[in-house]
Amino acid sequence: MTDIFIEGGRTLIDGAFTETSLRTAGRDIGAVDAEQGRAALHIDASGLLVLPGIVDLHGDAFERQMMPRPGVDFPIDVALVDSDRQAIGNGITTVFHATTWSWEPGLRSADNARKLLEAIEALRPQLAADTRFHLRHETYNLDAEDEIIEWLTEGRIDLFAFNDHMDGTIGDLARPKKRNRMVERTGLSGEEFDRLVERVLSRADEVPASIARLAQTARGAGVRMLSHDDASPAMRERFRDQGVTIAEFPITEETARAAAAAGDFIVFGAPNVVRGGSHTGWTRASDMIAKGLCSVLASDYYYPAPLLAAFRLAADGTLPLAKAWDLISSAPARAAGLEDRGVLAAGRRADIIVVDDKALLRPRIVAVIAAGRLAHLADASRLVHSVAPRKAVAAV
């Protein structure tokens, strides 16, 4: 593996920016404030920012590559390779593909969840980003429990989330546009979808015990857990009591405050920050950040969002850029239990991005290094070419 020397950038070290140089050594950062040494690849980062790679706990934008239009499918391997390019091109060096396994057929079916897991495992060695499997389990999907327990026990799941969208599903049945979208996604007729919802609801009393069994298995396997859309402090407490320490998209400020008081990680969507609010009309993420009620931002459904959100927070005066960057790098790494990344320091994984920040709200990725490999380069003029002197040839 080629060692890389990154010279003269404004580098985020220990929570502050300092002009220095980095040198990689294999997959790791070899030295900070380094001399070039034997590095074979030299990047001039003068005038640019050098930042830890983005760690994305929850991204499901890959679904658009799988099904760009309702009913139009593309092969999963093609979708994952394309998603990898998008993630890396936006500075995401660790990506958790948030895969929903629902009681619905279609895009979020058992068959698709299995195929996604198998494809991620098969493709992982050739993908540039460290690609991991985040299983979003719909809690009413009771028939999946045994197989999920098997996956957890075998170490095939990297993050495990409890989702319950049943109330929303029932509410959307009365809204023609949303109902049609749900039905179209499943490939069922309207009558078949209604019967399916009725069958699933009839087993509601079995859900709490299933959650408890799955949480116990995840704890035993050392898999970090999230609860999605916590609606109240009591709901957050119930999940926390079962070892679920990451609150993902809490619906109310009261719930977020309860999570923060207990030391839980709190995840909101980076698109919410970039757009200035939630597309669903729920909590405004930048307000939660200003109040200290958000510790992690995730790409959610849009890979460019974490990078843009960090610079938006800085431009708006919500947080200094170093603090904003923690939300998309160091904090999500800690939440996921990944102690080898998220900061720039000797011995840590060499996940590094080089950013041109001249246009504050439109940062441009110049280079991405993932696990010590140059994975993306947008400006070849930043490569420094040195020519070794030729050895003299003795006259014959």
Q: Are residues 201 and 272 in the same domain?
A: yes
Amino acid 190: pLDDT:
82
Residue 277 pLDDT class (50, 70, 90 cuts): confident
Q: Are residues 356 and 207 in the same domain?
A: no
Amino acid 280: pLDDT:
64
CATH of residue 314's domain is 3.20.20.140
Q: Are 295 and 266 in contact (CB under 8 A)?
A: yes
- pLDDT tens sequence across 198-222: 898 999 999 999 999 999 999 999 9
- Domain membership of residue 203 (yes or no) is yes
- Domain membership of residue 391 (yes or no) is no
Determine the Cα–Cα distance for residues 10 and 13; give it in Å rounded to an integer: 9
**Structural domain span for residue 10:** 4-52+344-382
Amino acid 392: pLDDT:
42
pLDDT, mean of residues 295-324: 97
Q: Are residues 67 and 214 in the same domain?
A: yes
Give the end of a domain, one of 296, 311, 335: 335
Amino acid 73: pLDDT:
83
Residue 391 in this model has a pLDDT that exceeds 70: no
- Domain membership of residue 390 (yes or no) is no
Percent of the chain at pLDDT exceeding 70 = 95
- pLDDT tens sequence across 28-47: 999 999 787 777 899 999 99
Q: Are residues 328 and 202 in the same domain?
A: yes
Alpha helix stretches (DSSP H) within 187-232: 190-201, 207-221
Strands (E) in the chain, as ranges, are 4-13, 16-25, 28-32, 41-44, 49-52, 54-59, 92-101, 130-138, 159-163, 224-228, 246-248, 265-269, 296-298, 352-356, 364-370, 373-377
pLDDT, mean of residues 270-280: 84
Length in residues, the chain: 396
- pLDDT tens sequence across 62-117: 988 888 887 788 899 999 999 999 999 999 999 999 999 998 888 789 998 999 99
Q: Are 6 and 50 in contact (CB under 8 A)?
A: yes
Q: Are residues 375 and 272 in the same domain?
A: no
Percent of the chain at pLDDT exceeding 90 = 76
Other beta carbons less than 10 A from residue 196's beta carbon = 15
**Residue 75 or residue 349, greater confidence:** 349
- Domain membership of residue 79 (yes or no) is yes
pLDDT, mean of residues 341-346: 98
Total-model pTM: 0.91
Q: Are residues 250 and 273 in the same domain?
A: yes
Determine the Cα–Cα distance for residues 263 and 236; give it in Å rounded to an integer: 12
Amino acid 386: pLDDT:
55
CA dihedral 200, 74, 298, 17 (to 10 degrees): 170
Amino acid 279: pLDDT:
62
Q: Are residues 322 and 357 in the same domain?
A: no
- Domain membership of residue 43 (yes or no) is yes
Q: Are residues 302 and 359 in the same domain?
A: no
pLDDT, mean of residues 308-326: 97
CATH of residue 8's domain is 2.30.40.10
- pLDDT tens sequence across 127-173: 999 999 999 999 999 999 999 999 999 999 999 999 987 776 776 67
First to last CA, the chain: 39
pLDDT, mean of residues 381-396: 58
CA dihedral 79, 82, 88, 93 (to 10 degrees): 20
Residue 250 pLDDT class (50, 70, 90 cuts): very high
Q: For the chain, how many structural domains are there in total? A: 2
Residue 193 pLDDT class (50, 70, 90 cuts): confident
**Residue 1 or residue 223, greater confidence:** 223
Give the end of a domain, one of 335, 352, 370: 335
Amino acid 106: pLDDT:
80
Residue type, 199: R
- Domain membership of residue 387 (yes or no) is no
Residue 251 in this model has a pLDDT that exceeds 60: yes
Q: Are residues 356 and 210 in the same domain?
A: no
pLDDT, mean of residues 118-135: 97
- Domain membership of residue 393 (yes or no) is no
Amino acid 230: pLDDT:
95
Considering the chain, what is the average pLDDT of its residues? 92
Amino acid 51: pLDDT:
98
Amino acid 387: pLDDT:
43
pLDDT, mean of residues 242-264: 97
Q: Are residues 271 and 364 in the same domain?
A: no
Q: Are residues 359 and 282 in the same domain?
A: no
Q: Are residues 24 and 141 in the same domain?
A: no
- Domain membership of residue 394 (yes or no) is no
Determine the Cα–Cα distance for residues 239 and 229; give it in Å rounded to an integer: 12
